[in-house]
Amino acid sequence: MLFKDKDKQDRLAAAVGKAVQTPAAEIAGRSPWADARVRFLRNKAAVFSLGLLAFITLCCVAGPWLLPHAFDAADWDAMSLPPTLKNAHFFGTDESGRDLLVRSLVGGRVSLLVGFLATLSAVTLGIVWGATAGFLGGKVDAFMMRIVDMMYAVPYLLIAILMVTILGRAFYLVVITITVFSWMDMARVVRGQTLSLRSREFIEAARALGVPTRRIIFQHIVPNLLGIVVIYTTVTVPTVILVESVLSFLGLGIQEPMTSWGVLIHDGASVMEVSSWMLLFPAGLLSLTLYCFNYIGDGLRDALDPKER
Amino acid sequence: MWSYTFRRILATIPTLLAVVTVCYLLLHGTPGGPFDEERKVSAAVLANLQAKYHLDLPLWQQYLYYLNSLLHGDLGASFRYADWSVNELVAKALPVSAAIGGSAILISLFVGVFLGTMAALRQNSAVDYFVMLLGNAGHVFPSFVIGPVLILVFAVWLKVAPAGGWDDFSPRFMVLPMLLLIFINVATIGRVMRGSLIEVMHSNFIRTARAKGLPMRTIILRHALRPALLPVVSVMGPLAITSITSAIVTESVFSLPGIGKLIVNGAANRDYTLVLGLVVLVTVIAVTLNLLVDLAYALLDPKIRY
């Protein structure tokens, strides 16, 4: 590695790229992001997971419209049916004749939506919290991080249970409850990164040149945080989906007639002696999704981790 | 060390206080009181009842009363289970959770360290692949998926263990829940132990020990194991929290009459005081476990001396 800070390296690379491009466009300038993309694409497991996840998401979004059944419609001719081609019940049906494939896909919509929304809010909260603590430093930082430590020591599922008991189980309340216990990792990471960035030469140089603070933050700090934020966002999504599923599995999350993977696994577990497919299909879908997110996270970490450069 | 212990214990107080306060305020914000029944009691009786339970006082005084009773180990009365105090319910449920959770974590500590060590010493062997597979599986399959699958395989298909239930600490009913908890814990412990021992085995002092001609057995037992155990100890804190989560799921899956089941039932019945009491209790347990882990870490790591 030639230069200590990516920014300088980046600008230099861009300059070299431009200089070289004019005579013969043989060596193009590569941004760190382009580098990362190449490294990510080289990781077969991660690319495969990304494709699979895109496929699952697409099925969840579009599938229920394309299939001939509604997720809450009972088919009285086909109750507790194992997976079959009859009436297009490819995943079978539950004890009231509702099509399991459509239910799994609709449940996937809810699980993925909760995962997406809760991650979005948790990541936003974490970034703001961590960046504020890291940037301000001193007593404020110590106090804010103490709160993060405290949140870690608390058995979050219990408080989540208490919150849904008291506040209720509406969709947005489930999202809020999950958010409250999912932002700390991001806050910690962002704070650490901000702290180390704050004292770097290129920030000092920008300050000495009289660049306004706002511009320093958006031009120099935020782009350097982006990599680690992307990594931790991908890691947060599966944990968030997991918490939603646990709550729903315990009967304290998403409520009937709406459904989610956790609800379906719960329903499946209660009838698995006679209809094991009711458990195995939603459980398989959830596990597959978690698997994908884990491998994408690993791939992104390898591709973007600043320590690797 | 003593002053560190003392300071570390003091540091847990704000955490506990914060949890109790937030939960208490959450609870207080809910509409309805314990005496809002279908059949209204007369105003005078209501006033008397409220005075008896200090419900007529301002919030901060009620809160202080609550803290006071907590300090005396009184978790309050249940809203739903008539004639039961939370303490009595806990006294019945805690031994069940402790027996299963405690023994499961001890067994998984031994199994996990053993498997991790074997995997690290014989990289790319069958044991190694097994530990890696287990670690990945523990990541991908959540406890509420593995639990029902265990029941499906061992209780429904093979019929070697009961599908759930409890019979006064009969081992038959404890096997499957413990298997589930051990699986989850070993997945983490084994992976961490494997990674850290591989790193330690590549360090300079191990090379020196080898150069001296020490037998492999001595190198591992006397020199490598202790530093390699440090990451395992530090992961035990988060693992304690995860164990509590998986205990709640486990007790639900196998219908065990433990603390987790009590909490879920309490939440489903909207038994606020019961849930609050249990949350406070389990938080105390979790914070204490974290404290013990930290102290063990300080004791094991020669680099940390307070």
What pLDDT is stored for residue A82 in this prediction? 67
Q: Quick check: A154 and B244 CB within 8 A?
A: no
> Would you give the DSSP letter of residue B242?
H
Q: Which residues from chain A sit within 8 angstroms of residue B267, using beta carbons?
A: 161-162, 164-165, 250, 252
Judged by a CB distance cut-off of 8 A, whether residue A159 touches chain B is yes
**Nearest CA of chain A to the CA of B154: how many Å?**
11
HSE, side-chain direction, 13 A CA sphere, residue A129: 22
Q: What is the rounded distance in angstroms from the CA atom of residue A81 to the CA atom of residue A95?
A: 8
**Nearest CA of chain B to the CA of A39: how many Å?**
22
What pLDDT is stored for residue B150 in this prediction? 83
- Find the mean pLDDT for residues A92-108: 76
Q: Quick check: B145 and A163 CB within 8 A?
A: no
What pLDDT is stored for residue A136 in this prediction? 77
Mean pLDDT per 10-residue section of chain B, whose length is 306 residues: 79 82 76 60 73 71 78 70 73 82 87 88 81 79 82 78 70 80 86 87 87 86 85 83 81 83 79 80 84 82 66
What pLDDT is stored for residue A46 in this prediction? 80
Condensed to tens digits (0 to 9), the pLDDT of residues A241-282 reads: 888 888 888 877 777 778 888 888 888 777 777 777 777 888
Q: What is the rounded distance in angstroms from the CA atom of residue A233 to the CA atom of residue A302?
A: 15
Q: What's the one-letter identity of residue B209? A: A
What pLDDT is stored for residue A121 in this prediction? 92
Judged by average pLDDT, the poorest of A17-21, A139-143, B272-276 is A17-21
**Run of H or E including B56:** none
**Nearest CA of chain B to the CA of A250: how many Å?**
7
What pLDDT is stored for residue A2 in this prediction? 43
What pLDDT is stored for residue A29 in this prediction? 67
CB B34 within 8 A of CB B272: no
Q: Quick check: B252 and A250 CB within 8 A?
A: yes
What pLDDT is stored for residue A24 in this prediction? 47
String of DSSP letters for chain A? ---SSHHHHHHHHHHHHHHHHTT-TTS----HHHHHHHHHHH-HHHHHHHHHHHHHHHHHHHHHHHSSS-TT---TT-SSPPS-SGGG-TT-B-TT--BHHHHHHHHHHHHHHHHHHHHHHHHHHHHHHHHHHHHH-HHHHHHHHHHHHHHHHS-HHHHHHHHHHHH---HHHHHHHHHHTTSHHHHHHHHHHHHHHHTSHHHHHHHHTT--HHHIIIIIIHHHHHHHHHHHHHHHHHHHHHHHHHHHHTTSSS-TTS--HHHHHHHHHHTTTT-THHHHHHHHHHHHHHHHHHHHHHHHHHHH-GGG-
Q: Quick check: A154 and B19 CB within 8 A?
A: yes
Q: Which of B140, B149, B270 to mutate to test the interface with A (most CBs of A within 10 A)?
A: B140
What pLDDT is stored for residue A40 in this prediction? 78
